[in-house]
């Protein structure tokens, strides 16, 4: 790996790109589980109640918080990409990275405070 490759991968835009892609993949993996749980609600109320009791565990709550953070990060990253596509490049658009990261973190923390 050359020095320029390292600089490119250490740029905030690269990390935003990586977070956007990873969050998209993880949200895609979560979706079938979500549909399975909804199916439980339609089939048997007792099975759904058992599953909902299981979700009260602290590790599951932490996973929910991570899920909300990933959803917020994916949304903020997508909006940032749309702005980059439809607006002319300006130096302030680097600030969009920080705003997207801050908004995602704030949404995740608000959810965490509501869960705890």
Per-residue b/e over 67-103, b at no fewer than 16 CB within 10 Å?
bbbbbbbbbbbeebeeeeeeeeeeeeeeebbeebbee
Write phi, then psi, for 89 (nearest 5 degrees): -65, 130
The C-alpha atoms of residue 93 and residue 99 are separated, in whole angstroms, by 10
Given this model, what pLDDT does residue 57 score?
93
Do residues 116 and 107 make contact, with C-beta atoms less than 8 angstroms apart?
Answer: no
Sketch the domain layout of the chain as residue ranges: 3-115
The C-alpha atoms of residue 5 and residue 80 are separated, in whole angstroms, by 24
Given this model, what pLDDT does residue 4 score?
61
**CATH class given for the domain over 3-115:** mainly alpha
Do residues 80 and 97 make contact, with C-beta atoms less than 8 angstroms apart?
Answer: yes
Percentage of the chain beyond pLDDT 90 is 18
Residues 39-48: tens digit of each pLDDT? 888 888 888 8
- Band (pLDDT 50/70/90 cuts) for residue 21 is very high
Residues 53-94: tens digit of each pLDDT? 998 999 998 998 889 889 988 988 888 888 778 877 667 767
- Band (pLDDT 50/70/90 cuts) for residue 109 is confident
Checking if the pLDDT of 1 tops 70, the result is: no
């Amino acid at each position: 790996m050359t020095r320029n490759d390292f600089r490119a991968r250490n740029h905030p835009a690269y990390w935003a790109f990586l977070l956007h892609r990873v969050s998209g993949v993880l949200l895609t993996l979560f979706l079938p589980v979500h549909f399975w749980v909804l199916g439980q609600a339609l089939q048997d109320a007792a099975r759904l109640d058992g599953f909902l009791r299981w979700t009260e565990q602290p590790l599951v709550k932490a996973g929910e918080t991570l899920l909300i953070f990933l959803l917020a990060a994916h949304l903020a990253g997508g909006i940032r990409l749309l702005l980059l596509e439809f607006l002319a490049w300006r130096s302030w658009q680097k600030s969009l990275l920080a705003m997207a990261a801050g908004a995602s973190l704030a949404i995740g923390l608000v959810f965490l405070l509501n869960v705890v």
